[in-house]
Amino acid sequence: MSFYHEVLKDIASGKVPLQFRVKDLSHSPVPGKSGHFKIGDVSYKESTLLTWPANYSIGPNGVQGQQVQQGRTPAFFRLEVGLYTPIEECEAGETVTLFSSVKDVSGYIEEPEAEILSTVQLAPAAETKSRTAPEIIAESIARRPFQVELRKQRCTYPKQPAKGWGARLEAYFWPKLENNWAHNQSSLQAMYQQAEAIETELRERRQLNPMRLSRLFDDVCAWGGVRRPSVEDDALATQAEGALAAIDQGEVPEQGLAINSAWTKLYAMLRPGHCVIFDSRVATALIAALDPYIEQLKDQKDFVKNYKGLGTVQQGRGGTRPRAFSDTWTNGYQKWDAQLAANHLCCEIRDYLNIHHERSDFAKPDGTPWTLREVEAVLFMDGY
- Specify whether 78 is located in the same domain as 218: no
Write the pLDDT tens digit of every residue in 117-132.
233 333 333 343 478 9
- Specify whether 118 is located in the same domain as 160: no
Arithmetic mean of pLDDT, 359-372: 95
pLDDT above 90 for 366: yes
Identify the domain boundary among 127, 160, 175: 127
- Specify whether 154 is located in the same domain as 115: no
Predicted pLDDT at 272: 96
Lowest mean pLDDT: which of 121-125, 195-199, 269-273, 318-322? 121-125
- Alpha-carbon distance 86 to 257, whole Å? 39
- Specify whether 109 is located in the same domain as 137: no
Q: In the chain, what percentage of residues exceed pLDDT 70?
A: 88
- Specify whether 123 is located in the same domain as 135: no
Predicted pLDDT at 100: 28
Q: What is the mean pLDDT of the chain?
A: 85
Distance of alpha carbon 44 from its chain centroid, rounded? 31
Contact assessment for residue 284 and residue 313, using Cβ atoms and an 8 Å cutoff: yes
- Alpha-carbon distance 287 to 190, whole Å? 31
Predicted pLDDT at 88: 60
- Is the pTM value of this prediction over 0.85? no
Lowest mean pLDDT: which of 9-23, 57-71, 214-228, 300-314? 57-71
- Specify whether 76 is located in the same domain as 167: no
Contact assessment for residue 73 and residue 96, using Cβ atoms and an 8 Å cutoff: no
In 3-state terms, what secondary structure has residue 330?
strand
- Specify whether 281 is located in the same domain as 189: yes
In 3-state terms, what secondary structure has residue 61?
helix
Predicted pLDDT at 162: 95
Identify the domain boundary among 109, 127, 145: 127
Which run of H or of E encompasses 263?
helix 263-270
- Specify whether 138 is located in the same domain as 107: no
- Specify whether 191 is located in the same domain as 288: yes
Identify the domain boundary among 127, 159, 174: 127
Predicted pLDDT at 149: 85
In which domain, by residue range, is 96 found?
Answer: 3-127
Write the pLDDT tens digit of every residue in 129-165.
478 999 999 999 998 999 988 888 888 999 999 999 9
Predicted pLDDT at 97: 29
Alpha-helical regions (H) of the chain: 3-13, 22-25, 46-55, 66-69, 133-143, 165-170, 181-205, 210-224, 233-248, 263-270, 280-290, 294-297, 301-307, 336-355, 372-382
Predicted pLDDT at 265: 98
- Specify whether 272 is located in the same domain as 147: yes
- Specify whether 257 is located in the same domain as 360: yes
Work out how many domains the chain is built from and give that number: 2
- Specify whether 77 is located in the same domain as 135: no
